[in-house]
Amino acid sequence: MRWSISASACRKGSQADKQGNLNVSKFGPRLAGAGGFINISQNAKKVVFVGTFTAGNLEIALEEGRLRIVQDGKARKFVQEVEHRTFSGPEAQRRGMTVLYITERCVFRLCAEGLELIEIAPGVDLQADILDRMDFVPVMRTPPALMDSRIFRQEPMKLRPQMLEMPLAERLSYDAGKNILFLNFEGLSIRSQGEIELVRQAVAERLAPLGHKVYAIVNYDRFSILPELVDDYIDMVKGLMETCHHDVTRFTSNTFFRARLGEALAKRRISANSYSTVAEAEANLDRR
């Protein structure tokens, strides 16, 4: 594995030192060259370098959410001072960049004092597998946290709900001054009848304490729904409009989805009122 910030900016045998400098360009008499590595890495706001902790015949095994070092690499990558500076840690720190160095057994973060060890893999021995195989002692303000054990299992990590699907209650916000309910359905996925009912319940419960109808604006950016559930979803929308809303507008930057949504609403004799931006959606609410 190689240190990398993109597929075109990686090199074998890279080195990192205690200041966060990286060498991917010169090793002894061999000059590999930097290519576009310097321009990309030093001008990004956040850089994530990924590679193995050691080099040369490294062999590892995954065992029930834990990492085992079967045979360590012969060459150290974390050295006192890199032979050639392709990426400058101090310069990145001066610019306020976020820099991470991720290996199979641990994660470092660039800080004012240099490389800070922030995570280690489950099953890895801090002293024997990390500290004893570095030429310097990294910064450790607190004991390193354990890396997510799902990384070291064969099955999918199932990150989608964690990363994209915020609780429905957090997707609903009410502006009393404008009497507008904002429904943030960005990234929401509808995959079952039960999820349609959860949306209906969340909206009804949010509006119940108000005791009156509201205007509504719905964000449908990156919204997705199984085709066989579209009719049931639109029926749910129609029911809410009849009981809870004066008028509803919608917006999404996806032109194709906006057209499909309009067709589905028209079949239920519901005005599409779909726009490309939230400003357009709010400007076109029917307040008569």
Domain end residue (candidates: 96, 127, 152):
152
Per-residue pLDDT at 96: 87
**Dihedral sign from CA coordinates of 34, 39, 41, 42:** positive
Same-domain status, 189 and 121: no
Question: How many Å apart are CA 222 and CA 164, to the nearest integer?
Answer: 10
Q: Is residue 237 part of a domain?
A: yes
Q: Is residue 4 part of a domain?
A: no
The β-bridge relationship of strands 114-120 and 145-146 is: parallel
Whether 7 is in a domain gets the answer: no
Which pLDDT score, from 0 to 100, does residue 35 have?
A: 66
pLDDT for the residue numbered 14: 83
Whole-number pLDDT of residue 265:
85
Q: Within the chain, where are the H helices?
A: 37-43, 89-94, 160-164, 193-207, 230-244, 255-267, 278-283
pLDDT per residue over 48-88, tens digit each? 999 999 998 999 999 989 999 999 999 999 999 998 888 99
pLDDT band at 31 (very low <50, low <70, confident <90, very high): low
Question: Is residue 199 situated within a structural domain?
Answer: yes
The span from the CA of 34 to the CA of 2, in Å, is 14
Task: Return the CATH number at 96.
Answer: 3.40.1080.10
Range of the domain at 80: 15-152
Strand 180-184 vs strand 214-219: parallel, antiparallel, or unpaired? parallel
2 falls in which pLDDT band (50, 70, 90)? very low
pLDDT of residue 1: 37
Q: How confident is the model at residue 262 (pLDDT cuts 50, 70, 90)?
A: confident
Domain boundary among 119, 152, 185: 152
Does residue 29 share a domain with residue 88? yes
| Whether residue 96 sits in one domain with residue 192 | no
Q: Does 175 lie in the same domain as 257? A: yes
